[in-house]
Structure 1
Amino acid sequence: MSVEGTTARARFTGPQGCLLAGSFLITLGSFAVLPYMSVLLHQRLGLGLGAVGTVLAVASLIQFAGGAVAGPVAGRIGLRRAMLLALALRTAGFAAFVPGTTSAVLAVGALLLVSAGAALYLPANKAYLVGGAPVSQRPRLLSASGSAFNAGMALGPPAAAPFVMGSPGVLFSCVTVLFALVGAGHALLPREASYRDEEAPAVPACRVPDAPRPGPSPFVVTVSSVYAFMFFQHYLALYAVPRTSAVFYGAVLTGYASLLVVAQPLLAERVAALSYPAAVRWGFGAMAAGTAAIGAGGHVGIAAGAALLCLGEIVLFLKNDLEALARSTAAPASVFGRQRLAAGIGAFASGLVGGHLYGAAEAAGSARGFWAAVCVQCLLLPVLPLFRRRTVRDPEGSRTDTA
């Protein structure tokens, strides 16, 4: 293998580089606002906690499950146009937040509009990124995309913190301008051929379309992965801030996102090389260990738990997307849209279950019981998918296909 060939593969094309830069800016703007929505809705606009939880659950469902329509939309109008439409929705949503800082109705409507734009954008973004690239480059491209998004997640909240409560109108105005500029940049991307399911590559003669493959279903594992992960995402603040400080919690979030940015590209090839059942065991095992460490409490336990959950996210989320692409003959945008639907189901279920579970733990006088319950679920969740792997085999008991 020549040095020139290796260097060529290590570089990104111009459109890929622009898309990755845009992904960073989009997440930077989004996470300058979205992590503080519960505070804005409850403390500034006066919504009750029950109403806030319902609004956030519905917004999460739209943001994730709405990805199911992203594939058909991208197939109809093309990936670039789908991204432009999504960015237009999100720009309009953030613009509506400016007067919405004094109106709960406008704020909720703006949040749902932003969520709808997010549902449409990400499947088209990932499909455009991997479009035309060899299968061997998918781990590198998807891990780089994850790093770009997580870099924005790391920098968005601390950048917005001084303005959230004091000058939210200024914050939303700046985010609106940022999204408008990113949308203008996307308009300069080269136009790609529309991805349609009927235009997907022909299936090899040795493979039957939509035939069951041995091993856990990527859709089911994605539902379970996001379900488990969102307990950490939604409830760490309630647990960590009273026991440490808001500054420490912010540092944990920043460190978490920074670790994702650095570690995900470094581990991408190793994650891709894992068998899917092994990746499921490693990923959920890391999440179980992480939630157990958080439950132990203290600065060290919370920080170590966050690092372990970061490892679980790297393994499960990347491998789920790679496995879904490898198994499907559909267009990439449709595959990523179904993965977003699975993520939406998991996030919605986690939001509904988590509130009751955390409330029960606090009523019992021990919030640590919440993390113990999540740990047990992380140990049990892989059982059903892996049991399916053992039962779906050919007559000789060997795999009919490889991941």
Structure 2
Amino acid sequence: MLSGSFLITLGSFAVLPYMSVLLHDRFGFGLGVVGVVLAVASLVQFSGGVVGAALAARIGLRATMLVALAVRTAGFAAFVPGLTRPVVAVAALFLVSCGAALYLPANKAYLVAGCGPERRPGLLAASGSAFNAGIALGPPAAAPFVLTSPGGLFTGVAVLFALVGAGHALLPSVADERVGDERVEKGRVVGGRAEDGRAEEGRVEEGQRVGEDRGVGSGAVAGRHLPPFAFTVLAVYVFMFFQHYLALYAVPRTSTAFYGTVLMGYAILLVVAQPLFAHRLAALPYAVALRLGFGAMASGTAVLALGGRAGIAVGAVLLCLGEIVLFLKNDLEALDRSTAPSATVFGRQRLAAGLGAFAAAVIGGQLYGVAERASAVPVFWVVVSAQAVVLPALLVVCVAGAARRRTGGEPVAARLPR
């Protein structure tokens, strides 16, 4: 499964990062049209995860992955005739996006099926590292062939996906799990019931309920009240400003070679560090992880505003740490709280990521344009940094207000067991 994850992103990112070049330079699409096509394709790839989860619930995890890989194989193969037919090329891009939407929830759910909470963080982190390793190596591997022999590149990627699909056909069938139902620790509530089966708010031991964070002081919002879906939207929203606009900012101030080195270092750090920190992140209280993650993103984007090689390099490292903390912890928290099948949880998380990415694409372009016209591009990163601080804080305030209304006006922390 991990090898397949690496090969899938290796093949995908041998093609997808160059789509803007192909659509604009080869087919003559205007940049505005190119932006709309790529934005819609990205939204389909992310938000379609809920469809992938529904399909997994109906036909099973392995069958869903096989369907998804068949769709992606057909999509990459369709790029070959699409080289002379723009409409076919756009259709091929959407086929590839639909395949990704169907595949990822089932992939993650299959990976953690049958694993207890002690193994789940390491497996999800290893899966993320495998995906990111493919993302890092795909573009440079394909660079010599994109413009000189794109037909051969698309054919090779289609063959690679066909082989990966054949490998998936050899996997055993496994049932999806309802992670929230498992009895993970003595004294914790299981699926909303006490361990003896009596329906009640929850019998606890040592003052701990599922999803609650230890060490929450008076006046704070309990970690169990903080919604992973909403914080995933915010985390991806902030991160995608960096993803979309670092190149525009960094290349004119440094060089293409330095920018490429930063991206390679970012990928290496992500691949190595996420599995190393996985179990520590799993043990962190959710509220603490949110403060660390958004704090790292806020600091990283603020440092980017300084410009220069040092500012861009340090900012990228901080943003990488923020991604490591927030992306993994939000998935783990969503799994721990839900009694839905794992594929459904991952599908919802993909939808949250899609909403965040789409909002960043729409708002980021306007903000960057304003900053560029005002000859104050570093201010763009200051605004992003402020959002990384203000938006999570506003969400916490809203959650606290809603929790107080549910509890009749009593402060949330006052109801936590001491």
State whether TM-score is above 0.5: yes
Shift of 1:22: 0.3
In structure 1, stretches of 5+ residues that fail to align are 1-18
Q: In structure 1, what is the equivalent of residue 365 of structure 2?
A: 355
Shift of 1:217: 0.5
Shift of 1:359: 1.0
Q: In structure 1, what is the equivalent of residue 413 of structure 2?
A: 398
Distance 1:292 1:358 in 2: 15
1:41 paired with 2:51, answer: no
**What letter is aligned with 1:79?**
L
**What letter is aligned with 2:374?**
A
1:317 paired with 2:332, answer: no
Q: Cα–Cα, structure 1 residues 293 and 26, in superposed 2: closer, same or farther, change >3 Å?
A: same
Shift of 1:102: 2.8
**What letter is aligned with 1:261?**
V
Distance 2:392 2:176 in 1: 37
Q: In structure 2, what is the equivalent of residue 141 of structure 1?
A: 123
Q: Cα–Cα, structure 1 residues 399 and 93, in superposed 2: closer, same or farther, change >3 Å?
A: farther
Q: In structure 2, what is the equivalent of residue 98 of structure 1?
A: 80
**What letter is aligned with 1:291?**
T
**What letter is aligned with 2:262?**
V
Distance 2:412 2:94 in 1: 49
Distance 1:106 1:200 in 2: 47
Shift of 1:164: 1.5
Is the CA contact (8 Å cut-off) linking 2:105 and 2:343 kept in structure 1?
A: yes
TM-score by length of structure 1 reads 0.90
Q: In structure 2, what is the equivalent of residue 267 of structure 1?
A: 277
**What letter is aligned with 1:268?**
A
Q: Cα–Cα, structure 1 residues 362 and 22, in superposed 2: closer, same or farther, change >3 Å?
A: same
Shift of 1:181: 0.6
Alignment of 1:25-174 (within 5 A): 25-174=7-156
Tell me the alpha carbon deviations over residues 247-266 of structure 1, each in whole angstroms, 9 at most, x when there is no partner: 22222111111111100011
Distance 1:67 1:236 in 2: 27
Q: Return the structure number with greater helix share.
A: 1
Report the structure number with the largest CA radius of gyration: 2
Is the CA contact (8 Å cut-off) linking 1:215 and 1:385 kept in structure 2?
A: no
Alignment of 1:284-295 (within 5 A): 284-295=294-305
Is the CA contact (8 Å cut-off) linking 2:270 and 2:324 kept in structure 1?
A: yes
Identity of aligned residues (%): 65
Distance 1:245 1:79 in 2: 45
Aligned-residue Cα RMSD (Å) equals: 2.4
Q: In structure 1, what is the equivalent of residue 187 of structure 2?
A: none
Distance 1:343 1:308 in 2: 20
**What letter is aligned with 1:130?**
V
Given candidates 193, 200, 204, the residue that maps to 1:205 is: 193
**What letter is aligned with 2:23?**
L
Shift of 1:23: 0.3
Is the CA contact (8 Å cut-off) linking 1:77 and 1:194 kept in structure 2?
A: no
TM-score by length of structure 2 reads 0.86
Q: In structure 2, what is the equivalent of residue 225 of structure 1?
A: 235
Q: In structure 2, what is the equivalent of residue 367 of structure 1?
A: 377
Q: Cα–Cα, structure 1 residues 399 and 248, in superposed 2: closer, same or farther, change >3 Å?
A: farther
Shift of 1:338: 0.4
Is the CA contact (8 Å cut-off) linking 1:75 and 1:196 kept in structure 2?
A: no
Shift of 1:66: 0.5
Shift of 1:388: 4.2
Is the CA contact (8 Å cut-off) linking 2:125 and 2:278 kept in structure 1?
A: yes
**What letter is aligned with 2:80?**
V
Shift of 1:213: 7.5
Is the CA contact (8 Å cut-off) linking 2:9 and 2:131 kept in structure 1?
A: yes
**What letter is aligned with 1:34?**
L
Q: Cα–Cα, structure 1 residues 90 and 399, in superposed 2: closer, same or farther, change >3 Å?
A: farther
Distance 2:168 2:159 in 1: 14
**What letter is aligned with 1:265?**
P
Shift of 1:214: 3.6
1:302 paired with 2:312, answer: yes
Q: In structure 2, what is the equivalent of residue 13 of structure 1?
A: none
Shift of 1:390: 3.8
In structure 2, stretches of 5+ residues that fail to align are 184-189, 195-199, 203-210, 212-221
Q: In structure 2, what is the equivalent of residue 253 of structure 1?
A: 263
Is the CA contact (8 Å cut-off) linking 1:291 and 1:375 kept in structure 2?
A: yes
Is the CA contact (8 Å cut-off) linking 1:222 and 1:342 kept in structure 2?
A: yes
Q: Cα–Cα, structure 1 residues 175 and 83, in superposed 2: closer, same or farther, change >3 Å?
A: same
Is the CA contact (8 Å cut-off) linking 1:214 and 1:389 kept in structure 2?
A: no
Is the CA contact (8 Å cut-off) linking 2:176 and 2:343 kept in structure 1?
A: no
Is the CA contact (8 Å cut-off) linking 1:214 and 1:399 kept in structure 2?
A: no
**What letter is aligned with 1:78?**
G
